[in-house]
Amino acid sequence: MKSKKLIFSLAAASFMSLSIFFKKIALSKNALPMNVFIQITIICFLVLSINLFILQEKDTKEKIKKIKMQNWKNFFLAGFFNLSAMLIGTYSLLLSTIINCSFVTKCGLIFVIILAFFFLQEKITKEKILLMVVFILGTYLVVTGGKLIIPHFGDLLILLAAFFLFGLYFSKKPIKII
């Protein structure tokens, strides 16, 4: 079971990187950002649907029917965070480089620590503070190349997208369907 989760995690990280790569290619060929966003969203929906209804357990449909109304609200909130992250991330690629987008998005760990402090009352230890400082400095050096004092607007949009991406983990209670 653990190896199956590892494979799904690796696949998700790979698809996220490929998504950023292909979005940047499309945008560099003068594709409209909203069209790119819609196409990537449809592809993600199809891949996730195949995973959920074909590759997962056979009684998935029955489990979906048993979901309570409060959980549906949480799903929609998580969907809002995810779609916001994808939309802002697509537009940020117009104003920034693919390296900055990939790196800053992966540095959302900073937001996880901060949001866990506010929403889950987790302690912020010295180690977490050190980790956040190292990530912030590393992100700053990669994004600016050590040359600018202030990152570009596109890089700030990427940070906002990362906030939404990692903010969806804190949309009320964790939900487990499968």
Q: Is residue 55 part of a domain?
A: no
What pLDDT, on the 0 to 100 scale, is given for residue 56? 66
Q: Which two tokens stand for residue 168?
A: 């969806």
Average pLDDT, the chain: 76
Range of the domain at 131: 2-50+69-170
- Strands (E) across 23-92 are located at none
Q: Which two tokens stand for residue 22?
A: 């292909």
What pLDDT, on the 0 to 100 scale, is given for residue 76? 80
Q: Is residue 111 part of a domain?
A: yes
Q: Is residue 160 part of a domain?
A: yes
Q: Which residue has the higher pLDDT, 94 or 149?
A: 94
Confidence of residue 121 (pLDDT cuts 50, 70, 90): confident
CA 142 to chain centre: 19
Residue range 1-28: average pLDDT? Answer: 76
Q: Which two tokens stand for residue 59?
A: 């009684």
Q: What percent of the chain clears pLDDT 70, i.e. is strictly above it?
A: 78
- In the DSSP assignment, the letter for residue 97 is -
Alpha carbon distance 177, 62 (integer Å): 10
CA distances from 45 to 38, 40, 89 (A): 10, 9, 17
Alpha carbon distance 24, 31 (integer Å): 10
What pLDDT, on the 0 to 100 scale, is given for residue 151? 65
Q: Is residue 98 part of a domain?
A: yes
Domain count, the chain: 1
Angle value at C-alpha 157, between 115 and 73, nearest 5 degrees: 50
What pLDDT, on the 0 to 100 scale, is given for residue 168? 64
Model pLDDT for residues 130-143, shown as the tens digit of each residue? 888 888 777 777 76
What pLDDT, on the 0 to 100 scale, is given for residue 178? 42
Q: Which residue has the higher pLDDT, 25 or 98?
A: 25
Q: Is residue 177 part of a domain?
A: no
Q: Is residue 64 part of a domain?
A: no
Q: What percent of the chain clears pLDDT 90, i.e. is strictly above it?
A: 0
Q: Is residue 133 part of a domain?
A: yes
What pLDDT, on the 0 to 100 scale, is given for residue 175? 45
pLDDT at 12 over 80: no
Model pLDDT for residues 38-87, shown as the tens digit of each residue? 888 888 788 777 777 776 666 777 777 777 877 777 778 777 887 888 88
Alpha carbon distance 122, 58 (integer Å): 37
CA distances from 40 to 11, 15, 23, 96, 154 (A): 16, 11, 8, 19, 20
